[in-house]
């Protein structure tokens, strides 16, 4: 059996970019003997995507631990550059990419500033752009100082994009790029859904950095800005809290 997903966005290539992300994940996972799975692509067009169906179940503690361990193994593979050669999507919004030599500049340009420039409300947009512009060099330098190496990241890693069946952990709906692996961990915390078995197992393989508590606020600011641009005022206060941390540098 298969699962059919229809293109509900205004972008004709959204499903095609999703498939490209799935295949990039699959290639790295399979070539490094990582025990995560990606649904097989059966057919794709601009209008619909047909995928291998996953018979999902609720995960137990052992499955959560497996996910933590195997995600850490994926994140342990060092890469040289940040970003991606082509743009893709984060939810229903475009996600800007390019290949950068350093992580801080990529995250500043293509994540935080890109989202700030999309804000429709002029006063909010100008305020956020002013903060980012004022703290540009400090933020970029701090991120570069505190990122270990670039990893292939899922990019949209919340509980709805991880599935479990009787044998495996599956990753779906990626927004992939090469970046600081803690962006994935930050988003996992943004909406919750993973218990201590996941975190303990992850940290056993690849411990989170000492700066993680600050980094996760900055990294999730990208997603809060995206949610604000997509869904409106309900996410503004979270954006303001994240900007306050940026402004403290």
d(CA 218, CA 22): 26
Annotation says 156 is catalytic:
yes
For residues 39 and 5, the answer to whether their CB atoms sit within 8 Å is no
CATH T-level topology, domain 54-247: Aminoglycoside 3'-phosphotransferase; Chain: A, domain 2 (3.90.1200)
Of the residues 87, 98, 156, 173, only one is catalytic, namely 156
For residues 147 and 75, the answer to whether their CB atoms sit within 8 Å is no
DSSP for residue 110: I
DSSP helix/strand/coil, 125: helix
Report if pTM > 0.85. Answer: yes
One digit per residue, pLDDT tens: the chain, 249 residues? 899 999 989 999 999 999 999 999 999 999 999 999 999 999 999 999 999 999 999 999 999 999 999 999 999 999 999 999 999 999 999 999 999 999 999 999 999 999 999 999 999 999 999 999 999 999 999 999 999 899 999 999 999 999 999 999 999 999 999 999 999 999 999 988 899 999 999 999 999 999 999 999 999 999 999 999 999 999 999 999 999 999 999
DSSP helix/strand/coil, 109: helix
For residues 205 and 65, the answer to whether their CB atoms sit within 8 Å is no
């Amino acid at each position: 059996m298969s699962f059919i997903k229809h293109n509900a966005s205004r972008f004709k290539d959204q499903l095609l970019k999703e498939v490209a992300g799935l295949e990039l994940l699959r290639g790295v996972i399979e070539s490094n003997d990582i025990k995560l799975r990606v649904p097989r692509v059966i057919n794709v067009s601009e209008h619909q995507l047909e995928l291998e169906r996953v018979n999902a179940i609720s995960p137990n503690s052992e499955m959560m631990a497996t996910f933590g361990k195997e995600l850490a193994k994926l994140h342990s593979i060092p890469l040289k550059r940040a970003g991606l050669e082509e743009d893709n999507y984060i939810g229903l919004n475009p996600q800007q990419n390019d290949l950068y030599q350093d992580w801080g500049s990529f995250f500043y340009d293509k994540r935080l500033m890109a989202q700030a420039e999309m804000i429709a409300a002029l006063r909010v947009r100008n305020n956020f752009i002013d903060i980012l512009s004022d703290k540009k060099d400090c933020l970029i330098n701090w991120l570069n100082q505190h990122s270990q190496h670039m990893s292939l990241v899922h990019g949209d890693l919340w509980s709805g994009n991880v599935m479990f069946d009787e044998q495996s952990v599956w990753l779906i709906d990626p927004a992939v790029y090469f970046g600081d692996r803690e962006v994935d961990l930050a988003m996992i915390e943004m909406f919750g859904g993973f218990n201590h078995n996941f975190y303990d197992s992850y940290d056993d393989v690849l411990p989170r950095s000492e700066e993680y508590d600050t980094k996760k606020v900055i990294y999730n600011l990208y997603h809060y800005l995206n949610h604000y641009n997509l869904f409106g005022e309900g996410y503004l206060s979270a954006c303001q809290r994240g900007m306050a941390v940026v402004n403290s540098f």
